[in-house]
Structure 1
Amino acid sequence: MKKILLSWLMSCACLGASAQFRVEVSGVGLTQVPIVVAPFKGDDAMQPKVSAIVGADLERSGQFALVDSGGVRGDETVRPDFGALRQRSADAAVLGSVTRLADGRFDVRFVVWDVVKGQSLGGFSLAVAPTELRLAAHRVSDYVYEKLTGDKGIFSTRIAYVTKVGQMFNLWVADSDGEGALSALASPEPIISPAWSPNGSQLAYVSFESRKPVVYVHDIATGKRRLLANFKGSNSAPAWSPDGRTLAVTLSRDGGSQLYLMDANGGEARRLSQSNSIDTEPTFSADGRWIFFVSDRGGSPQIYRMPAAGGNAERVTFSGSYNISPSVSPDGRWLAFISRVSGAFKLHVMDLSSGAVNALTDTSADESPSFAPNGRLVMYATQQGGKEALMTSTLDGKIKTRLAGQSGDIREPDWGPLHK
C-alpha cells in the first residue's frame, strides 16, 4: 500500500501538456430529448459561435440528441415553424441572436421553445465583454437544460486539472467543456489533488516544491495563496467540508498516514482516524455528515466512511479487492470510485442505498473521479491511445465525452461548484 500511495503522489511525473481541447461524444442514451439549436442570427461572424457551444453543451450532457436544423432560421423575435421542426422529430428548439453593441460588448439573446406544445419556455439576454462570450453561451445552455430537464445546468461551472510541460507542472482552471484554460500555478515540482472550495473561489492542492507534499489554498481571482498544512512528514489529499469552514487532510506527522481536520484558515490539526493502517483520500458527503476515505485496515485498499466529527468507521465497498478514490454525488445517492479488476483500473459507481455497483468504462487506467455539481455526470482521467485523457460519463455509462488534449496529457481533475 505504501508503494501504491507513492505512485499516487508521483503519478503526474510523466505527463504531457495541453490547454486546448476538442469534444468527442460517443454513445446513445435511452431518453434523450431531440433538440434543434438553430444558428444564432449574427453568429456567423462570431468566434466562438454561441449556438455551436450551446449545442455541444447539451449533447455532452447526455440528456439531449442534436437534430440538424435543416435550414430552420430565426432569432428570439421569431416564432419558429413548428411544422418543419416536428418533421425533423425535434421536441425542442433554441433560437437566438448575437449583436455587437456600440461599446464593444456583445448582446446575446435567445428563446427556448417546446415544439410538442408549440409554446415558449422563455429566455433572457446578456450583454457581455468579448472575453465573456463563451461564458454567456454556457449560461444559455444552463437555462435550456434546466427548463427541459428540471435539473440545474452545469455548463457555466469550471474544472481544474494538472499538466506537465517538460519539467514544469501547471494547475489549470478551465470551462466545464475544457476550453478557455488558464494556468493558476506553474511549478517545477509536482502539483496534485486540486480541490475546489464550495463557493468556487479557492482551490486547495498539494505541491512538492518544498521537496515534500505540502497543502496550499489558492485564491482564483487574485492568484494569492496561503500555506495550510506543512507539518512534519507528508501533508496531502485536502478535501473541503460543504460549508467551506474546514478541510480534511491526510497527515503522517504522528507516524502512518491518518485523517485530520483543519480550520480553513489554518492552525492546528485535529486527528480524526485512530487506526494503525494507512487512511487517506478523504471526501465529505454533501450534507457534511460523513467523511468517506480509503484505508488498508482490512488488508487491501477499500472505501470506508466515518462521522465527520470522527468516530467509528464502517466499510462501504465489498466488491473487489482494491477500491480507491471515492467521490460522493451531491444528492448523496451515488459513490464513484476506482476499482482494480484483473489488473485494470476502472471507474465504478455504487448506489449507496442498495450497495449495487456498476462499472462505467471499458478503459484500464481510470483515475480521480469527480461528480458534476448536479450529480448527472462523472468526470475522470484515463488513458486512450497511450495518452491520458479527460472524460465525462453519464451515470449509466452509456454516453461519454472525451475532452482530448491536442498535444499532451492531463490528470487530477476536479469539478467546481455551480455558478453563483
Structure 2
Amino acid sequence: MRLMLSLLVLLSAAVHAELTIQVTQGKQSAIPIGIVPFEWDGLQPLPEDVRGIVNDDLGRSGYFRTLAAENMIGRPYAPEQVVFGDWKNLRQDFVVIGKITYDGSGYAVDFHVMDVHQKVELFHHRVRGTASQLRDMAHYISDFVFSKLTGIPGVFSTKIVYVTTNRERNRFNLNYADADGAREQLIFTSTQPIISPAWSPDGKRIAYVSFESGRTAIYFQELATGKRQMVLNMKGSNSAPAFSPDGQRLAFVHSEGGNPDIFVLDLASGNVSRLTDHYAIDTEPQWMKDNRTIVFTSSRAGGPQVYSLDTITREVKRMTFQGNYNARPRVTDDGRKLIYVHREDEGFHIASQDLATGAVNILTMDTQLDESPSVAPNGSMVIYAATEADRSILAAVSVDGDVKFRLPSKYGDVREPAWSPIF
C-alpha cells in the first residue's frame, strides 16, 4: 500500500480485533534478522508499536527468524552506530534500524537495512503518515524489507474478509481486517447466512451471497462508503461470485429446478451468459490470471473434481485425478500452483498441485475439516477455515507447507476467508 494516499474509511467504526495470530511452524531455513526498536524522542508513547508490528510481520512470514529485543547487545538507530561484530556474534544476517520523528503534521520513519556479513547499508527509506496511519506505515516497512531481501512482493499491507457466526445470537457478520487480524471492522450483519465473499480486483468492493431475501442473492458492497447493491436475484439459487481479473465480469453459479451451472454477468451491460450446461453439478468458479480460463468444481466424473473451462471455446478439461474428492479450486497468480480441498484418510485438507508436473502436496494434515482456501496475492500463503475443538477458525499455510499459523477468534466461529489483492 502506498502511504500518503487516502486510506479506506469503512461504514462502521473500528472495533477491537477478534483474531489473534499463533505461529505454529516456520521454515527451517529462515533468515536471521534483528529488528531494533526504533528511536523515538517524543514525550508521549507512540500510538502504535511500529517495531513490534514489523517484527511480528516478518517473523510470522516464516521466511525470517527475528531476534528478541532483550537479546540485543545495542540499540542503534543510525548506520554509523551499528557494530557489525556484535550482530555477527548474535548470528544475525541482517539488521533493521530506524528513527521516528514528529513534525506537527505527521510522523516520519527513517529506516535502514544493514547487511551484517558485508558490513554495509543495503537500503535506506523514509515513510510518512498520520497517527492513524502508523500501523499502515509499519506494514509498509515490512513489505519493503520482505520484498528487498526475498525478491517476493510483501503482503503485510493487504486485507482479509471473512464471516463470523455467533450461534447463541443467531448472527452472521461479514468482517474486514488487516492481514494480521488487526483493526477488524464490520461490513454487514444479518440473522441470515452470509457466504462466499470475494474481492474486486481493485480492492474497493466485496461481492457476497446473502439469504436475507428468502433465496440466495448476490450483493456488492463498497468498502469506502458502505453502499450496498443487490446484483443478482434470479429465480432459483445464485451463489459463488468471482470477479474476472479485469473487473469487467462476474462468474457465478445459478440453478433453477435443475443442477447448478456456471454463468457470467457482464457488469457494464448486465447481460448474463451461460458457460456450462451439464447434468452434473458445476460450482465454485474461479478465474485464472489470463482473464479467459475459469477453474471450477464438477461432479461430472462421479465425485467432485477440479476442471478448467475456456470461456471462449467452452472447452472443459479435468485437472485433478488423485483421490475421489477435490474441490474449491484456487490458482496462484503466477499460474504455477492449483490449490484446493482434498479428502485424505477421511479428513479434508488443503492440497497444492504443481500445474506443470501434476505433483500433489498435502499441506495441512495437522488440521481437520479444512475448507475455503484463498491464496495470498503474492502466491506464497493460503488462508483457509479449519475446525478446532468444535469451533471454526482461520489458519494459514505456505504453498510449500513449511510455514503454518492460526488466527483463532476470541468470539464465535470464523469461516469463508478471502485474501485481498495488493492495492
The TM-score, its normalising length taken from structure 2, stands at 0.91
Quote how far apart the aligned CAs of 1:18 are. 8.7
Bigger mean CA offset, 369-378 vs 30-39: 30-39
CA–CA distance in structure 2, aligned partners of residues 111 and 20 of structure 1? 33
Give the C-alpha shift of residue 201 in structure 1: 0.8
Q: In structure 2, which of residues 20, 32, 35 is the aligned counterpart of residue 34 of structure 1?
A: 32
Aligned twin of 1:58:
58
Who is 1:404 aligned against?
Answer: 408
Cα distance in 2 between the residues matched to 1:58 and 1:379: 17
1:353 to 2:356 alignment = yes
Name the SS of the counterpart of 1:297 in structure 2. Answer: strand
Equivalent-residue separation in structure 1 for 2:295 and 2:363 (angstroms): 21
Equivalent residue in structure 2 for 1:22, among 9, 20, 30: 20
Contact 2:171 2:191 in 1 (8 A): yes
Contact 1:324 1:337 in 2 (8 A): yes
User: In structure 2, do the counterparts of structure 1 residues 310 and 19 end up closer, same or farther at CA, with 3 Å as the change threshold?
Assistant: farther
Q: Which letter does structure 1 place at the counterpart of 2:19?
A: F
**Structure 1 residue 124, shift from structure 2 partner:** 2.2
Residue number in structure 2 paired with 1:244: 247
CA distance in 2 between partners of 1:77 and 1:28 (Å): 30
Q: Any idea what the Cα deviations from partners look like across 1:328-378, whole Å, max 9, x if unmatched?
A: 001000011111223211111111111111111121111111111110111
Q: Is the contact made by 2:79 and 2:121 (CA closer than 8 Å) also made in structure 1? A: no
Once the two structures are overlaid, the 10-residue window that deviates more, 146-155 or 108-117, is 108-117
Measured in 2, the distance between the counterparts of 1:338 and 1:162 equals 19
Range 36-45 or range 368-377, more displaced: 36-45
**Map of 1:141-156 to 2, 5 A cutoff?**
141-156=142-157
The answer to whether the Cα contact below 8 Å between 2:175 and 2:185 also exists between their aligned partners in 1 is: yes
Alignment partner for residue 81 of structure 1, among 76, 80, 83?
Answer: 83
Counterpart-to-counterpart distance in 2, 1:18 and 1:295: 40
What is the aligned partner in structure 2 of residue 136 from structure 1?
137
Q: Residue type of the partner of 1:377? A: M
Q: CA deviation at 1:273?
A: 0.7
> 1:227 matched to which residue of 2?
230
1:267-302: CA deviation from partner (whole Å, max 9, x where unpaired): 231000121111000001112231000010111111
Tell me which amino acid in the other structure corresponds to 2:421: P
What SS does the corresponding residue of 1:145 show, helix, strand or coil?
helix
Q: In the comparison of the two structures, how many residue pairs are matched?
A: 402
2:379 counterpart SS class: coil
Q: Which amino acid aligns with 1:147?
A: K
Deviation, 1:31, is 2.5
Give, in whole Å, the separation in 2 of the partners of 1:140 and 1:414. Answer: 24
Q: Deviations over 1:51-75 (max 9, x none)?
A: 1111111111121111234133122
Pairing 1:46-195 to 2, within 5 Å after superposition: 46-69=46-69, 70-76=72-78, 78-103=80-105, 105-165=106-166, 166-195=169-198
* SS of residue matched to 1:137: helix
Moved more, 245-254 or 329-338: 245-254
8 Å CA contact retained: 1:229, 1:266: no
State whether residues 39 and 77 of structure 2, in contact with CA within 8 Å, keep that contact through their aligned partners in structure 1: yes
Q: Secondary structure at the match of 1:121?
A: strand
Which AA in structure 1 matches 2:46? M
Structure 1 window deviating more from structure 2 (150-159 vs 93-102): it is 93-102
Structure 2: where are the runs of 5+ without partners? 1-14
Match of 2:213 in 1: 210
Distance in 1, Cα, partners of 2:16 & 2:406: 14
CA 1:89–1:266 in 2, change beyond 3 Å: closer, same or farther? farther
Which secondary structure does the structure 2 equivalent of 1:393 belong to? strand
1:294 matched to 2:308? The reply is: no
SS of 1:198's equivalent?
A: coil
What amino acid maps onto 2:113 in structure 1? Answer: V
The change in CA–CA distance for 1:76 and 1:241 in structure 2 (over 3 A counts) is: farther
Q: Which residue of 1 aligns with 2:7?
A: none
Structure 1 gaps of 5+ residues are 1-16
C-alpha change, 1:389 and 1:47, in structure 2 (3 Å) is: farther
- Contact kept in structure 2, 1:272 and 1:309, CA below 8 Å: no
1:170-228 CA distance string (max 9 Å, x none): 11111111111111111221111010111111111111111211011111111112222
- Relative distance call for 1:188 and 1:101 in structure 2 (3 A) is farther
CA contact (8 A) 2:373 2:382 kept: yes
Q: Per-residue deviation at 1:121?
A: 2.3
TM-score scaled to structure 1, two decimals?
0.91
Alpha-carbon RMSD across the aligned residues, in angstroms, is 1.8
Shift of 1:309: 2.9
Matched letter for residue 154 of structure 1: V
Indicate the percent of aligned positions where both proteins have the same amino acid.
41
Query: Partner letter of residue 214 of structure 2?
Result: R
Q: Deviations over 1:227-256 (max 9, x none)?
A: 221111000000111111101000113732
Q: Which residue of 2 aligns with 1:333?
A: 336
Write out per-residue CA displacement over residues 296-329 of structure 1, whole angstroms, 9 at most, x where no aligned residue: 0111111111113351211111111111111100
Give distance in 1, aligned partners of 2:66 and 2:227: 42
User: 1:1-29: CA deviations, max 9, x gaps?
Assistant: xxxxxxxxxxxxxxxx9942222112231
- Whether contact under 8 Å (1:229, 1:235) holds in the other structure is yes
Partner residue, 1:258: 261
Q: Which amino acid aligns with 1:45?
A: P
Q: Distance in 2 between matches of 1:179 and 1:248?
A: 31
What SS class does the counterpart of residue 322 from structure 2 fall into?
coil
